[in-house]
């Protein structure tokens, strides 16, 4: 009997090919990434780390790299710190992933084992905080992430999160951050978000950290969760927090980085001695993080996913990736301008990155959920999202969030952004005529006509690896 999962995967291939993906946190991986992820490396257990003399779990020695390139890493005899035998291939895979991650983000140390962005953030908190310690991060309604202290999360039960907001112009509210940093005695100041369209002033946050450290007399960890924009950083079109005084950067590997689903943690500094219990100082961050990932919060690493991360990082290091990153932003800015012409009110009045947040309630009177459903019916996928000071709640928010990483991977450009904005306006006009998702059925003919046009365009830009 054929497993129904087979047909469902085939159905998903069709959905992805015939529609256009506008969810800003999604992307399409290459055939090589997919192959590594589906490889027999999934059979192997490898708790521990591929530390080896003089290198730790960080970037390969620069002189060695100049002379040998990656072959040095692939040939080195590795006295590893693993708990299972048979690691001669796995160790090399993970070392290459670590080295490429460091090169991509100008980091000294990378932990490539987190299973996700949430796990990466959890490990950083566990590495640095004691229960009850305070983290100052962007609040969820302002555009922050669940793992930055939403009350429903485990972290929020263990640590004390204080939230800052965004200013009227959509930028970070630096005055609010400074005031709260000097009041709440934070152990971590966190910059990161899943719905924010500006480029943060990392130097300004670093200055705020300094003032708070002077006031409270202890070290404060500066942490950036760059899951959304990591590919823009790697592509050189967004500043890198590690170059602006930040100690730690976490990111997922699947969004703008175009790798497999997973997380990584990057930092400056080296692992001194993996066997000694380290003190909680900023100088010890790399080893504190390694210990917090394994055995602190995870067991066996997913080495097939780590191999796929390595392949993706190898792709991200190529010159073409810079062009891709620049095109993501160009497409997002074009789409934002076109939407504004059609009357869409955008938070922050546009975008400086890959992401657009449109307040459809304010623009047209219907909510984000209805619009998400109607766009789904024409093959355009995005998600309903709260806007600043939203009164609609989590289930009927006033806005929608969209972005260009995935469609830029498929090769859509500025002309197609104009077509896309036109379809979004046509669907908005239909939504204005209905009061519920059920009533959209009365407009099936118009919606199907747009659906055919979307399909025709989508099929001209094939999904990589399908």
Binding site for ligand DSN (CB under 6 A): 25, 117, 145, 194
The minimum distance between CB 5 and ligand DSN, in angstroms, equals 23
Is 95 among the residues known to form the active site?
no
Bridge pairing between strands 188-192 and 134-138: parallel
Report the residue number, 17 or 116, with the smaller CB distance to ligand DSN. 116
Report the residue number, 46 or 147, with the smaller CB distance to ligand DSN. 147
Report the residue number, 223 or 288, with the smaller CB distance to ligand DSN. 223
Secondary structure of residue 377 in the 3-state scheme: helix
Report the residue number, 153 or 284, with the smaller CB distance to ligand DSN. 153
The minimum distance between CB 430 and ligand DSN, in angstroms, equals 26
Taking the CA atoms of 134, 136, 140 and 145 in sequence, report the sign of the dihedral they define: negative
User: How far apart, in whole angstroms, are the C-alpha atoms of residue 39 and residue 36?
Assistant: 5
Q: If 0-12 CB within 10 Å is exposed, 13-18 middle and 19+ buried, where does residue 295 land?
A: exposed
Report the residue number, 103 or 145, with the smaller CB distance to ligand DSN. 145
The neighbouring-strand residues paired with 265 are 111, 250
Give the pair of three-digit tokens for residue 97: 């992933």
Active-site residue, from 26, 45, 64, 419 = 45
Is 455 among the residues known to form the active site?
no
Report the residue number, 50 or 200, with the smaller CB distance to ligand DSN. 200
The minimum distance between CB 255 and ligand DSN, in angstroms, equals 7
Q: Prior bond to 243 cis, omega within 30?
A: no
The minimum distance between CB 20 and ligand DSN, in angstroms, equals 17
CB 347 within 8 A of CB 168: no
The minimum distance between CB 267 and ligand DSN, in angstroms, equals 21
Is 352 among the residues known to form the active site?
no
Q: If 0-12 CB within 10 Å is exposed, 13-18 middle and 19+ buried, where does residue 65 land?
A: middle
Active-site residue, from 261, 280, 330, 455 = 261
Give the pair of three-digit tokens for residue 61: 């020695």
Q: Rounded to an integer, what is the distance from CA 302 to the centroid of its chain? A: 19
Phi-psi region of 217 (alpha: psi -120 to 50; beta: other; left: phi over 0): left
Report the residue number, 21 or 352, with the smaller CB distance to ligand DSN. 21
Report the residue number, 238 or 451, with the smaller CB distance to ligand DSN. 238
User: How far apart, in whole angstroms, are the C-alpha atoms of residue 400 and residue 21?
Assistant: 14
User: How far apart, in whole angstroms, are the C-alpha atoms of residue 230 and residue 250?
Assistant: 9
Closest CA to 226 of 258, 194, 204: 194
Q: What is the DSSP string of 237-288?
A: SS--GGGTT-SEEEEESSSTT---S-EEEEESS----TTSPPPS-GGGHHHH
Active-site residue, from 82, 209, 255, 258 = 255
Active-site residue, from 94, 108, 225, 352 = 225
The minimum distance between CB 234 and ligand DSN, in angstroms, equals 18
Is 451 among the residues known to form the active site?
no
Closest CA to 187 of 120, 248, 108: 248
The minimum distance between CB 382 and ligand DSN, in angstroms, equals 11
Active-site residue, from 134, 250, 251, 252 = 252
Is 255 among the residues known to form the active site?
yes
Secondary structure of residue 111 in the 3-state scheme: strand
**How many other CB atoms are there within 10 angstroms of residue 392's CB atom?**
16
The minimum distance between CB 118 and ligand DSN, in angstroms, equals 7
Is 225 among the residues known to form the active site?
yes
Q: What positions carry a catalytic annotation? A: 45, 47, 225, 252, 255, 261
């Amino acid at each position: 009997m054929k497993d129904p999962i087979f047909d469902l995967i085939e159905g998903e291939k069709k959905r992805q090919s015939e529609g256009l993906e506008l969810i800003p946190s999604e992307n399409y991986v290459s055939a090589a990434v997919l192959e590594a992820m589906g490889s027999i490396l999934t059979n192997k257990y490898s708790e521990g780390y591929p530390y080896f003399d003089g290198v730790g779990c960080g970037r390969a020695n620069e002189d060695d790299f100049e002379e040998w390139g990656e072959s040095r890493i692939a040939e080195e005899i590795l006295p590893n710190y693993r708990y299972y035998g048979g690691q001669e291939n796995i160790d090399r895979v993970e070392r290459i992933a670590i080295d490429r991650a460091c090169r991509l983000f100008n980091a000294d140390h990378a932990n490539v084992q987190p299973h996700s962005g949430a796990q990466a953030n959890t490990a950083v908190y566990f590495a640095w905080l004691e229960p009850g310690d305070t983290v100052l991060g962007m609040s969820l309604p302002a555009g922050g992430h669940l793992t930055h202290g939403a009350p429903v999360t485990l972290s929020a039960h263990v640590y004390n999160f204080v939230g800052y907001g965004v200013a009227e112009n959509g930028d970070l509210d630096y005055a609010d951050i400074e005031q709260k940093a000097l009041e709440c005695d934070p152990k971590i100041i966190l910059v990161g978000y899943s719905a924010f369209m500006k480029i943060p002033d990392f130097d300004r946050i670093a200055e705020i950290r300094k003032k708070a450290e002077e006031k409270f007399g202890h070290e404060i960890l500066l942490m950036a969760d760059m899951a959304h924009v990591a590919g823009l950083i790697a592509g050189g079109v967004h500043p890198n927090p590690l170059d602006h005084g930040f100690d730690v950067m976490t990111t997922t590997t699947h969004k703008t980085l175009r790798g497999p689903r997973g997380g990584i943690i990057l930092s400056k500094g080296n692992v001194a001695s993996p066997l000694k219990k380290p003190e909680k100082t900023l100088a010890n961050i790399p080893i504190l993080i390694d210990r917090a990932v394994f055995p602190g919060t995870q067991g066996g690493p997913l080495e097939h996913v780590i191999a796929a991360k390595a392949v993706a990082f190898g792709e991200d290091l190529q010159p073409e990736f810079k062009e891709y990153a620049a095109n993501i932003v160009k497409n997002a800015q074009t789409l934002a301008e076109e939407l504004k012409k059609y009357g869409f009110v955008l938070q922050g009045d546009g975008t400086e990155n890959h992401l657009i947040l449109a307040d459809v309630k304010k623009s047209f009177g219907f909510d984000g959920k209805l619009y998400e459903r109607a766009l789904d019916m024409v093959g355009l996928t995005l998600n309903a999202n709260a806007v600043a000071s939203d009164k609609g709640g989590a289930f009927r928010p006033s806005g929608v969030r969209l972005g260009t990483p995935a469609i830029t991977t498929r090769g859509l450009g500025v002309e197609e952004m104009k077509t896309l904005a036109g379809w979004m306006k046509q669907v908005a006009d239909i939504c204005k005529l209905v009061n519920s998702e059920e009533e959209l059925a009365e407009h099936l003919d118009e919606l199907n006509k747009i659906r055919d046009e979307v399909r025709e365009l989508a099929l001209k830009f094939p999904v990589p690896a399908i």
